[in-house]
């Protein structure tokens, strides 16, 4: 799933503009950035989250975490390799 500090209507507009997404988008708008802060990704200066991929296992343990600068896309091979180690 995707999470950002944008509002639900902003998520709908973005996913519509993208032609839809194969995963749900969640709003971390109120309280502003609570989930993003819990994962230590909140950027006070921007008022939103830093870009990241986080894989959490069924027990709630973070098994993979990688942050990305704006404009840099995650490497799918790294993410798939991390998923493969979880089983």
CATH number at residue 21: 3.40.30.10
* 3-class secondary structure, 26: strand
Query: If you write DSSP's letter for every residue of 30-64 in order, what string do you get?
Result: TTTTHHHHHTT-EETTTTEEPEEEEEE-TTS-EEE
Structural domain of residue 33, as residue ranges? Answer: 2-86
pLDDT in tens, 12-59: 999 999 999 999 999 999 888 999 999 999 999 988 899 999 999 999
Taking CA atoms, 31 is separated from 34, 48, 86, in Å, by: 6, 12, 32
Q: State pTM to two decimals.
A: 0.79
> How many independent structural domains does the chain possess?
1
User: What is the residue whose two structure tokens read 């032609």?
Assistant: 19
pLDDT in tens, 61-78: 999 999 999 899 999 999
């Amino acid at each position: 799933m995707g999470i950002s500090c944008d509002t639900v209507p902003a998520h709908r507009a973005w996913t519509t503009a993208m032609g839809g997404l194969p995963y749900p988008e969640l709003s971390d708008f109120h309280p502003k950035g609570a989930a993003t802060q819990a994962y230590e990704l909140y950027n006070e200066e921007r008022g939103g989250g830093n870009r990241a991929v986080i894989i959490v296992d069924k027990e709630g343990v973070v098994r993979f975490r990688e942050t990305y600068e704006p404009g840099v896309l995650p490497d799918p091979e790294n993410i798939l390799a991390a998923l493969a180690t979880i089983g």
